[in-house]
Amino acid sequence: MILSDDLFHKFAKLIYKKTGLYYEYSKKYYVHKRLEKRAGLLELDDLNEYYLLLKFADDTSEFDKLINELTVNETYFFRDFPQLRNFAEDILPMFVREKGSRKQIKIWSAACSTGEEPYTLSIILQEMLDNPEEWDIEILATDINTDVLQTAKIGLYESRSIKDVPPEYLERYFTRRNEKYLINLNARKHVCFKRINLMDENEMSNINGYDFIFCRNCLIYFDDESRKSVLSSFYESLNPGGFIFLGHSESVGRISSAFKVRRIGDAIVYSRPEC
């Protein structure tokens, strides 16, 4: 199936408008193959027909399937370990001290993919909190891709996903099933998965009261305008004093001046000001 430059830009504009995902012309081949796959499964004659179906369909089911094809990302447990160590050893103890007797913590893992990040955060809390069973722990894990969310809910992982898990954690939080590893109840009991489109203002406005937001290696797929929109929503979702963590190649400060810049431990971190 032929994808003209003009039609590519129409698809890119439609995807951007609905999701904030920005596909430059250099991604034309990548997008083309996924459009071709979906159109072929629907037995359509050409990609223009598929475009019209997406644009004017009464429901979003086919568009959601296309987004699933476009947004499959690889991740693994304890990814970007220095940042997680900063959270676990420097920021979390400070947060616990400031909480005093109010033992409640809410974390949002946005763009959680197949679940390795939220389960990693759950493991960290189990290990770092004194008497974690006394804490009210909530980890919201969201993604726009329904396929990866289903994988995350099952919680069964290949060896490449657990390659950086410390051996004692692997024994404590996983059960081996043939050549795969199943996350156990201790790590999964605090995690709730939900489909969220980060550009849906109505959905985003309902997510609030969070102490920490992790949105790592996601905003690189957005342009500046959509990044600003998402970070503005994250700001509103955080409690005063709450922290946001992006990927190592992403910068809060370049996009938004609303967050407070702080040095905690050996890292520069960003938080919502107390007042």
CA distance 87 to 15: 34
CA distance 218 to 69: 16
CA distance 61 to 75: 26
Out of 64, 97, 136, 143, pick the active-site residue.
143
Q: Assess whether 223 carries a catalytic annotation.
A: no
The SS3 call for residue 181 is: strand
The DSSP secondary structure of 66-111, one letter per residue, reads: HHHHH------TT-SHHHHHHIIIIIHHHHHHHHTT--EEEEEEET
| Cα dist from 196 to 22, 46, 151, 199, whole Å | 17, 30, 16, 9
Out of 34, 79, 85, 172, pick the active-site residue.
34
Q: Assess whether 34 carries a catalytic annotation.
A: yes
CA distance 198 to 254: 19
Question: Which two tokens mark 120?
Answer: 């990693």
Question: Which two tokens mark 175?
Answer: 């059960």
Residue type, 249: S
CA distance 252 to 214: 12
| 1 in Cβ contact with 51 (< 8 Å) | no
Question: Strands 191-195, 136-143: parallel, antiparallel or unpaired by DSSP?
Answer: parallel
β-sheet bridge partners, residue 133: none
Residues with catalytic annotation? 34, 143
